[in-house]
């Protein structure tokens, strides 16, 4: 895969210039030892070469191949957005994001692997940028190669990649504010291998929400994560006394027609790692949540 930039600074070390473009030390090593190439104005150079203003820098990254242990799983992906660097899919309920020891196949990663195989892509390593819990629906972001993954992961870490969710909650919904930030630390619940809880010794967790609609039994909230703790939205709303509908792990109401946690990733906002264009992708509510709201 080839990437190209034009130098805008006077006399700068090629290594420094590439770092400014997001090329990591690890990626430079891959280019050096696995068949990649660095060119300046079409001439092969090393990272110790000094480039000048208006020079054209070309980086050719070797193909990644594939994970031999990642099994393809035949299915039809609901693709929301795709280009040479990014894939965004709409994840259904009941499907895990990545394989685990006792569930090596059938996950979204396995399904994307099958799609890559069908398209005969040269890069078939699965780069998951944003994961969702098994029963959470909505937008899931994949990078189609390691360079894009590193760039998007940096945005995720510094908060420029924003994830917005819609959730249906019940319980003490009369106490919900029109807009608020939940700032409660989350850690492991020692009675479970999976469950989390609000606990003073946990990691700081920030969840911003806006009340969209409220009836006597149910509230619809628009949620934005500012940290990425396991089960963060589910734990935080349970701690408020307003657990998600269908979420039996965190005492959610399972008697209103929804039997999985009523949580949907509806919106992703990020900068395209290479064009720098602002990308905003939205996905409507799934049938079970929409039916209850309507």
Residue range of the domain that includes 191: 164-265
User: What would the 3-class secondary structure string for 117-173 be?
Assistant: HHHCCCECCCEECCCCCCCCEEEEEEECCHHHHHHHHHHHHCCCCEEEEEEEECCCH
Domain count within the chain:
3
Question: Is pLDDT above 80 for 250?
Answer: yes
Would 283 be classed as within a structural domain? no
**Same domain assignment for residues 187 and 100:** no
Could you give the CA distance from residue 135 to residue 69 in angstroms, rounded to a whole number? 25
Beta bridge partners of 140: 89
Question: Is pLDDT above 80 for 247?
Answer: yes
Q: In the prediction, which pLDDT does 220 show?
A: 97
Question: Is pLDDT above 80 for 225?
Answer: yes
CATH number at residue 217: 3.30.2350.10
Q: In the prediction, which pLDDT does 103 show?
A: 80
Q: In the prediction, which pLDDT does 68 show?
A: 78
Letter string b/e over residues 103-129, b meaning 16 or more CB atoms within 10 A of that residue's CB: eeeebbbbbbbbbbeeeeeebbbbbbb
**Same domain assignment for residues 172 and 261:** yes
What is the arithmetic mean of pLDDT over 168-187?
A: 97
pLDDT band at 93 (very low <50, low <70, confident <90, very high): very high
pLDDT band at 237 (very low <50, low <70, confident <90, very high): very high
Q: In the prediction, which pLDDT does 286 show?
A: 96
Among candidate residues 78, 83, 133, 153, the one labeled active-site is: 133
**Same domain assignment for residues 13 and 79:** no
pLDDT band at 126 (very low <50, low <70, confident <90, very high): very high
pLDDT band at 69 (very low <50, low <70, confident <90, very high): confident
Q: How many residues does the chain have?
A: 294
**Same domain assignment for residues 92 and 129:** yes
What is the arithmetic mean of pLDDT over 159-183?
A: 96
What pTM value is reported for the model? Answer: 0.91
Question: Is pLDDT above 80 for 125?
Answer: yes
What is the arithmetic mean of pLDDT over 138-148?
A: 97
Q: In the prediction, which pLDDT does 56 show?
A: 96
**Same domain assignment for residues 52 and 78:** no
**Same domain assignment for residues 203 and 128:** no
Q: In the prediction, which pLDDT does 136 show?
A: 96
Residues in Cβ contact with 242 at an 8 Å cutoff, skipping those fewer than 6 apart: 169, 170, 171, 172, 173, 175, 176, 219
Q: In the prediction, which pLDDT does 5 show?
A: 95
Would 95 be classed as within a structural domain? yes
Question: Is pLDDT above 80 for 187?
Answer: yes
Q: In the prediction, which pLDDT does 99 show?
A: 94
Q: Is 83 marked active-site?
A: no
**Same domain assignment for residues 43 and 90:** no
When the pLDDT of each residue in the chain is averaged and rounded to a whole number, the result is: 95
Question: Is pLDDT above 80 for 102?
Answer: no
pLDDT band at 168 (very low <50, low <70, confident <90, very high): very high
For the chain, give the percent of residues with pLDDT over 70: 100
Would 74 be classed as within a structural domain? yes
Q: In the prediction, which pLDDT does 21 show?
A: 93
Comparing 67 with 227, the larger pLDDT belongs to 227
Question: Is pLDDT above 90 for 67?
Answer: no
Could you give the CA distance from residue 222 to residue 211 in angstroms, rounded to a whole number? 6
């Amino acid at each position: 895969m080839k990437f190209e930039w034009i130098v805008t600074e006077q006399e700068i070390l090629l290594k420094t210039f590439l770092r400014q473009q997001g090329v990591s030390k690890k990626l430079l090593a891959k280019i050096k030892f696995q068949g990649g190439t660095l060119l300046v104005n079409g001439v092969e150079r090393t990272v110790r070469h000094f480039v000048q203003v208006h020079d054209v820098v070309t980086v050719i990254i070797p193909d990644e191949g594939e994970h031999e242990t990642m099994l393809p799983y035949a299915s039809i992906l609901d693709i929301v957005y795709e280009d040479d660097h990014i894939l965004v899919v709409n994840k259904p309920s009941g499907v895990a994001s990545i394989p685990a020891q006792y569930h090596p196949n059938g996950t979204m990663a396995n399904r994307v692997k099958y799609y890559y195989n069908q398209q005969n892509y040269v890069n078939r390593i699965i780069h998951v940028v944003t994961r969702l819990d098994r029963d959470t629906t909505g937008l899931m972001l994949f990078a189609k190669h390691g360079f894009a993954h590193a760039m998007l992961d940096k945005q995720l870490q510094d908060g420029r990649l924003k994830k917005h969710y819609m959730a249906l909650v019940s319980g003490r919904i009369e106490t919900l504010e029109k807009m608020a930030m939940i700032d409660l630390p989350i850690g492991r619940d020692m009675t479970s291998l999976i469950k989390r809880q609000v606990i003073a010794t946990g990691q700081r967790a920030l969840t911003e929400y806006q009340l969209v609609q409220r009836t006597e039994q149910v509230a619809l909230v628009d949620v934005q994560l500012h940290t990425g703790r396991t089960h963060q939205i589910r734990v935080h709303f349970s701690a408020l006394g307003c657990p998600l509908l269908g979420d039996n792990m965190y005492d959610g109401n399972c008697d209103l027609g929804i039997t999985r946690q009523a949580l949907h990733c509806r919106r992703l906002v990020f900068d395209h790692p290479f064009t720098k264009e602002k990308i905003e992708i939205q996905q409507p509510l799934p049938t079970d949540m929409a039916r209850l709201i309507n």
